């Protein structure tokens, strides 16, 4: 089983270490993006041949801040500035959508039922008959 190692790191003796040449490209990429360059242009400026989507994922990759496995390549301030710029551009381009909360319809809780007159030997027929006696909903949403 292999996992993707973020750009800027390499594995030595089972541990992630910073590849300083690549790490400098990552730092510069963040700075170029913050300065106003488009994702792909900022990436190309620092020598990264990646697609727009991959460049966007690099900006959101929290491993670059450092965690239990990966050492830090950038600081929180640089990461936050890039995220702020990314959000600002998304808002300007109308690419921010609020998720709509689906309303879950409430199930009726009270019904009236006609008088049971018939009795069937077959339990399925009996159930069908009893369900057919449900006449109308009396209350909605548990109200009194």
The structure's pTM equals: 0.65
The pLDDT assigned to 16 comes to: 95
The pLDDT assigned to 3 comes to: 62
22 vs 20: CA distance, rounded Å: 6
The pLDDT assigned to 138 comes to: 54
What stretches in the chain show pLDDT beneath 70? 1-3, 99, 136-144
CB neighbourhood size of 115 (10 A)? 5
Asked whether 75 and 27 are in contact (CB, 8 A), the reply is no
The pLDDT assigned to 95 comes to: 80
Helical H segments across 1-144, by residue range = 20-34, 39-45, 52-60, 76-92, 123-132
**Both tokens assigned to 78:** 């640089």
């Amino acid at each position: 089983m292999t996992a993707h190692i973020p750009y800027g790191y390499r594995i030595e003796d089972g541990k992630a270490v910073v590849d300083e040449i690549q790490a400098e490209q990552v730092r510069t990429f963040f700075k170029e993006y913050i300065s106003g360059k488009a994702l792909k242009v900022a990436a190309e400026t620092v020598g990264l041949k990646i697609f727009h989507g991959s460049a966007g994922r690099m900006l959101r990759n929290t491993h670059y801040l450092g965690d239990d496995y990966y050492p830090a390549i950038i600081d929180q301030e640089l990461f936050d500035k890039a995220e702020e710029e990314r959000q600002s551009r998304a808002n300007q381009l109308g690419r921010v959508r609020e998720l709509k909360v689906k309303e879950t319809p409430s199930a009726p809780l009270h019904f009236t039922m006609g008088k049971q007159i018939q009795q069937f030997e077959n339990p399925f027929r009996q159930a069908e008959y009893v369900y057919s006696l449900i006449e109308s909903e009396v209350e909605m949403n548990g109200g009194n």
